[in-house]
């Protein structure tokens, strides 16, 4: 769970034990089960692609997960312009409206990409690693 950013215990604590209304994940794989447990009942687990390369279980069938909504978008979206537009609209709306808020651990300039990768592999990081470029 640490490698994807937000642990279940931490998320539940922040939300007063209710869980998160929205959880966004672009990695997928086995950690999806822990992410699902961090979602509030009737919350949304949004899976965008599956960069882990590992099988992703379906959390709806695990007895420890709350009733949740899942939106799953995979590589097939690129072949279907309508699905791609819907997925992009969902993500854009969530980001603009504030229901999807990326958590940033650290910013690194492009010149420090090696340090950014080292930070990404660190088990104590919390959130996304962002590499910035000058305009």
Each residue's pLDDT tens digit, 86-115: 878 888 898 899 888 888 889 999 999 999
**pLDDT of 8:** 39
Q: For the chain, where are the alpha helices, taking DSSP H only?
A: 8-14, 32-37, 81-97, 113-120
Residue predicted with more confidence, 85 or 124: 85
Task: Report the pLDDT averaged over residues 38-63.
Answer: 78
Dist. CA 1–CA 7, nearest whole Å: 6
Residue predicted with more confidence, 71 or 41: 41
Regarding pTM above 0.75, the answer is no
pLDDT interval class at 62 (50, 70, 90): low
Is residue 4 predicted with pLDDT exceeding 60? no
**pLDDT of 122:** 75
Dist. CA 110–CA 102, nearest whole Å: 20
């Amino acid at each position: 769970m640490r490698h994807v950013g937000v642990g279940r215990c931490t998320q539940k604590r922040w939300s007063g034990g209710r869980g998160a209304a929205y959880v966004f994940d672009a990695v997928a794989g086995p950690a999806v089960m822990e992410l699902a447990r961090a979602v509030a009942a009737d919350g949304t687990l949004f899976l965008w692609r599956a960069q882990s390369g590992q099988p992703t279980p379906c959390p709806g069938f695990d007895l420890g997960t709350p009733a949740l909504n899942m939106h799953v978008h995979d590589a097939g979206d690129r072949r279907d312009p309508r699905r791609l537009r819907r997925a992009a609209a969902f993500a854009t709306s969530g980001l603009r409206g504030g229901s999807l808020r990326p958590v940033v651990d650290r910013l690194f300039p492009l010149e420090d990409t090696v340090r950014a990768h080292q930070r990404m592999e660190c088990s104590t990081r919390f959130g996304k690693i962002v590499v910035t470029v000058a305009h």
